[in-house]
Amino acid sequence: MKTITLSVTGMSCGGCAASVKRVLDSTEGVVAISVNHEEDSVILKYAETEVTLDSIIDKIEKLGYKAEVMH
């Protein structure tokens, strides 16, 4: 399992955060998610053997947000 924090810009309300959480909840391999629209962040734990970071970022960006790994 890997835990990562993403910077997700474009989320302006709780509904935006709920949309991101809903999509990631339905993603196989993602086991824990915390979305905070006020801090523009997503913290998630995922199984690298089941899902790639690129595919997770792609799912978020298909919702209309910009996502990148926070360092």
CATH number at residue 44: 3.30.70.100
pLDDT tens over the chain, length 71 residues: 999 999 999 999 999 999 999 999 999 999 999 999 999 999 999 999 999 999 999 999 999 999 999 87
Q: The domain containing residue 37 runs over which residues?
A: 2-69
Task: Specify the amino acid at residue 60.
Answer: I
Give the predicted TM-score (pTM) of the model.
0.90
Domain count, the chain: 1
- Round to whole Å and give the CA distance between 16 and 3: 22
Cβ burial 4-24 (10 Å sphere, 16+ → b, else e)? eebebeebeeeebbebbeebb
